[in-house]
Amino acid sequence: MANELLSALVHLNLAAAGAILVVLLVRPHVRRHFGPEIAYRLWVCVPAAACAALFPAAEATRIVPPGDGPHFDPVYQASQGLMQAPGAMLLLLWLAGAALGAAVVALCQLRFLDMARRGLAGPAVAGFFAPRIVMPADAPALYSDEERALIRAHERTHIDRGDPRTNGLIAAIQCLCWFNPLVHLAAREARLDQELACDATVLAHRPGQKRRYAETLLKTQLGAVAAPLGCHWLAGAAPHPLEQRIKALRRPAPDFRRQDLGAFMMAGAILLAAYGAWRAQPPAPAEGMPPDLVPVVHEAKHMQAIIVHPVYSRPRWAS
């Protein structure tokens, strides 16, 4: 049981890693041609591929002879080696890492909430079940009325889109897949794409306020405190996300035709990722003999003699 669970976990992470690499490769082009919203939703390919890897293979395409024999297929060798690994010990190690990751997330969330109660955090959205907007205590002195309206519109867009719950699921996946560095990289990039998509949604209703919006981004500082189960402006942790967001504000929004085409291509990419991960599974072994080694048994069949009585007829010339 432990080895089967460990094998499923490894296959899931391999499928997710492949999907992450593809999304990281194509997302800048998707963002440029179809907008940040389609690029953000392209991350659905990762859980789709991971879930598809858990489905059983279509059929058992490998027939394993009884007993131990030489096998030269590396995929089969790896699968057999994984099934013979000390699954209980590795499973306990995985559970310990997941518990430690969950403790770190809870500690960061509690620290953020403590600073929010003291008025030292924000602007941000905090909470999973009941998200709420968090503003610093000196917000009236830091931001003008117009800037505070833009901040509230940004955070309200996060809540309406369900982004805080999405970020909570991302944090949970990071805890479960703590040993996979690509998962942590994907989490960071997905949250950046989330902010870019939220910026585009806000400015779609306020096309004449790009400059004011960029100035608000520059003035917004969150420091080193982030909300694992919420949304923040990614402004104070590092300058690189902020530079990307301001650069994205200068790009023209794609028209409706290009958005529809991007949505169609995104749906196709999700289906292709799920199908590819499902087909890439190692074939399930089936006990028995290969078809070319099955012994042929010849059965003796009893033949019955059939007596045919000849019939003589006069030839035509004799008539």
Q: Give the whole-angstrom CA distance, residue 217 versus residue 113.
A: 22
As a whole number, mean pLDDT of residues 104-124 equals 88
Peptide bond into 123 cis (omega under 30): yes
Output b/e per residue, 276-299; b: 16+ Cβ within 10 A: bbbebbbbebeeeeeeeeeeeeee
* pLDDT tens digits for range 32-68: 888 899 999 999 999 999 999 888 766 554 545 444 4
Identify which of 153, 120, 129, 131 has the alpha carbon closest to the alpha carbon of residue 231.
Answer: 131
**Quick check: is 301 in a domain?**
no
51 or 234: whose pLDDT is higher? Answer: 51
Question: Would you place residue 239 in the very low, low, confident or very high pLDDT band (cuts 50, 70, 90)?
Answer: very low
For residue range 184-199, what is the model confidence (pLDDT) as tens digits?
999 999 998 999 999 9
In a domain, residue 7? The reply is: yes
Q: Are strands 285-287 and 124-126 parallel, antiparallel or unpaired?
A: unpaired
Question: What pLDDT sits at residue 236?
Answer: 45
Please give the sequence-ordered ranges of beta strands (E in DSSP) within 57-130, or none if there are none.
Answer: 62-64, 124-126
Residue at 304 is within a domain:
no
| Domain assignment present for 318 | no
Residue 308 lies in a domain: no
Determine the structural domain holding residue 112 and report its residue range: 2-287
Amino acid identity, position 135: M
Domain membership of residue 192 (yes or no) is yes
Which residue did the predictor score with more confidence, 230 or 49? 49
Residue 319 lies in a domain: no
The tally of domains found in the chain comes to: 1
Asked if residue 153 belongs to a domain, the reply is yes
